[in-house]
Each structure stands twice: as C-alpha cells, then as structure tokens.
Amino acid sequence: MNVATRTAGTRAQMPHRSRPIRVLPLIEVFVLALLVAIPFVLSGRPELITLSTNIVILSLLAMSFDLCWGFSGIMSYGQALFFGVAGYVVALVGRDLEFSQLWATLPLAMLVGGLLSAAMASFLLLGKKTPTSIFVAFGTLTGAYAAERLVAGWQYVGAGNGLSAIKLMAFGGYEFVEGVEFYTVALSCLVLVYLASRLLVRSQMGLVLAGMRQNEERLAFFGYRVQVFKALVFSFAGAVAGLSGALYSYHQGFTGPSNMGPGLSTTAVIYCLFGGSGTLIGPVIGTIAIELLSYVLADTDAIRQFWPVILGVVLLVVVMFQPTGLLGLIVSARERIGSFGIRPGSSSKETR
C-alpha cells in the first residue's frame, strides 16, 4: 500500500503534461472486436471456424505462460504439463464416468491445473532455500518431460496412442461439435480469463509483481514474501493452462502424450514472446499471427516440412533483436508496465 501512495505522490508533484495516447486499450478492443466478428464473417467456412477456435484455445495457453514469465519471472517450460493433464482428466471423466457437462468439467480442469501447478510451485519455489531461476526453469522442464514419458508408457491412458474419440463437451442435452457454438464457448472463456488476469496484474498485487520484476531482492527486504507471490501467480497460470487443455481435448476429440511435453510448452513460449510478453494481449496476438502464418504457408509442401525451422528462426530473431515482441514496436515501455490500483487523477487529490 505504501508503495502505491508514494508513486501517486511523486506523480502529483510532477508538472502537468498532456497524457500520451494509450495504445494498449485500443489494441485490446480491436482484437476483441476481431474475435467477436469471426463467427459472423466466416460462418460459411467451417474449416476457418475450426482454425479460429484452435487459435482462441491456444491463446489461453500462451496467456498462461505470459502470467508466469511476463509477470512473475518464472521461465516455465511446464505449461503444457497442466494443459495436458487437464486434457487427459476430462477425457477420462468422459470415458469412465460418461460425464462431460461443461459447467462441471471445465472448472474441474481448472482445479486440476491449479492444484498441480500449486504442488509444483510448492516443491520448486517454496522452502527455506531460495531456488535460482535457472533451477525453476529446469524443474518445470523436467516435470513436463517426465510426465510425457510416463503417460507414453501407461496403458490405462492409452500409452503412446493417447485417448481418442473423447466424449463431446455438453451442456444439458446439447453437445458441442466443432463450429460456431464451440467457438463461442472458447471465446467466452478467453474473455473471462483475460479480464480476471488483467484485474490481477493491474491490482495492488500486480504492483508487487512489477516490483519483483525490477528488483526481487529489494522487494524481499520490504518484507514481501516474493516466492509466495510467484507461487500464487504460477498456480493461477496453471489453472488457466488446465482450462485451455480441457477445451483443446474436447475440440480435437483427441489427446496424446505430446500435448503434455516440453515441445508444446515451447510453442506457447514462442507465441507469447512473438506477440510481446508482459502485456497479456501480446500472447493472443502472437498466437493469432503465428497460427495464421502456419495456416497460409501449410499449402506449400516445401514450407510445411521446414515449418519448425521457421519457428526456430522466429524465436531466435525475437530473443536476439526484439525481446519485447511485436507489441514492443508500438507500445511504450511505460505503458507496458502500466499503472496500478488508484487512478493518477483521483489519487492526486487524496495525497494532498
């Protein structure tokens, strides 16, 4: 709280300046409008609706990585682990309990993802010894890798073949197949999660997270339990990844060991960094851009074969030359970090 009032105080002392135009809300509104317009514009092209649904679902995964890396500094190679496990759980609930009502299974998937990531966070982050960030990155990588190997050899969950013909997601008597209705459900999830995440990272807690990114040690000396904050964000991100994984399984009607491994995690990393990490909307834009590019280029055989090479080059170029991603080109650093809690205008009166 103190930190917030102090920031507001310094702001009040600053000479009045014309406020720069805020680009980020404009981009957010634009992307939302685009995604809402899709079912109306593309209703005659079922394959494009399927692609859009995939993009929306993968955006959730990319966003969950952004919460880890962009907001709490955890390089997580394990987002696919929560994604995959939740996907398997809804598939198994559908197979063994013959139950797939979305009002229960989607929260269940979030719970599974959240609990699993909370368990992982308490092992990797919490404890007497503060772990190095490299160790945490390896921990998540190892977790995802070990889980992939375990599932690939486990007969009950279909071993290497995975689970196919997953029971369709249902609401009451209505069953969702690929199409506009499924897209609507996925988009609603994305919007809800986006709003919740935005609330989280722009709240007072978000201020702590921003401080952590600047100087973790100093925050610790202020008395914040830095690792607990990291663990909380990591668990929330795990829940988001779980939701994404459940939707993905339902949508594809299939889930396999590769949905759980470091490969998919890294794809999420590429989406997020390409769009611009630490902005929440960046991962969504990155997913849209890369998936569209992949769709357009997939027609040419020569390019499809070397598509992973292109992804690698994209990742390399981004980390070497443009670490803030696409959004970094148009959004200022000041806006990316953002303002917190009380609005500058109203707070200046309070401090006086």
Partner 1 sequence: MDFTIKFIFDIAAFTSVMVLIVLGLGVIASMMGIFNFAHGELVLLGAYTVYLSDEYGLGPWPGVIAAPFVVGLIGLVLERTIIRRFYKVPIIAMLGTYAVGLIIREIVRGLLGGHYKSIPEPIEGAFSVGGLEFSWWRSLIIVTTLLVIAGSYLLLSRTSIGLRVRGALENPMLARACGISTGTLYALTFAFGAALAGLAGALIVPLYQLSADIGIRFLVQAFLSVMLGGVGTFEGPVLGAAAVGIMASGLPWLVIPVLADPLVFVIALAIVRIRPQGFITVGRL
By CB under 8 A, name the one of 129, 223, 345, 346 that touches partner 1. Answer: 129
Stretch that binds partner 1, among 8-16, 130-138, 209-217, 282-290 (CB under 8 A): 130-138
The answer to whether 66 touches 283, Cβ cutoff 8 Å, is yes
Q: Are 171 and 101 in contact (CB under 8 A)?
A: yes
Contact status: 75 vs partner 1 (CB under 8 A):
yes
Under the binding rule (CB under 8 A), the answer on residue 119 touching partner 1 is: no
d(CA 202, CA 327): 18
Counting contacts by CB under 8 A, is residue 273 touching partner 1? yes
CB of 89 to partner 1, least distance (A): 18
Q: Which two tokens stand for residue 279?
A: 């902005």
**46 sits near partner 1 (criterion: CB under 8 A):** no
Interface pick for partner 1 out of 196, 308, 330, 350 (rule CB under 8 A) = 308
* In the block, residue with structure tokens 């994604």: 83
CB 139, CB 260: distance < 8 Å: no
- Cβ–Cβ < 8 Å for 43, 49: yes
189 near partner 1 (CB under 8 A): no
Among 114, 139, 162, 286, binds partner 1 (CB under 8 A): 139
Smallest distance from partner 1 to CB 340, Å:
25
Dist. CA 68–CA 79, nearest whole Å = 9
Is residue 122 involved in binding partner 1 (CB under 8 A)? no
Of residues 152 and 207, the one with the C-beta less far from partner 1: 152
Taking the C-alpha atoms of residue 264 and residue 318, their distance in angstroms, rounded to an integer, is 18
Token look-up 């055989």 returns 301
Question: How many other CB atoms are found less than 10 A from the CB of residue 105?
Answer: 24
Determine if 215 is a binding residue for partner 1 (CB under 8 A): no
Does position 61 bind partner 1 by CB under 8 A? no
Question: If we measure between CA atoms, which residue out of 320, 323, 332, 291 comes closest to residue 27?
Answer: 332
Rounded least distance, CB 256 to partner 1, Å: 16
Q: Which two tokens stand for residue 293?
A: 């590019």
Using CB under 8 A as the binding rule, whether residue 311 contacts partner 1 is answered as: yes
Interface with partner 1 includes 319 (CB under 8 A)? yes
C-alpha–C-alpha distance, residues 232 and 52, integer Å: 31
- Pick from 227, 252, 266, 279: which binds partner 1 (CB under 8 A)? 266
Q: Which stretch binds partner 1 (CB under 8 A): 20-28, 133-141, 161-169, 200-208?
A: 133-141
Q: Does 305 contact partner 1 by CB under 8 A?
A: yes
Confirm if 79 and 137 have CB atoms less than 8 A apart.
no
The radius of gyration of the chain's CA atoms, rounded to the nearest angstrom, is: 21
**298 near partner 1, rule: CB under 8 A:** no
* Interacting span for partner 1 (CB under 8 A) from 33-41, 87-95, 109-117, 142-150: 142-150
Q: Binder to partner 1 among 5, 6, 26, 135 (CB under 8 A)?
A: 135
Spatial separation of the C-alpha atoms in residues 24 and 30, rounded to whole Å: 10
Contacts (Cβ under 8 Å, ≥6 apart) of 221 = none
The residues of the shown chain that bind partner 1, judged by CB under 8 A, are 75, 123-124, 127, 129, 131-135, 137-139, 141-142, 145-147, 149-150, 153-154, 266, 269, 273, 305-306, 308-309, 311-313, 315-316, 319-320, 323
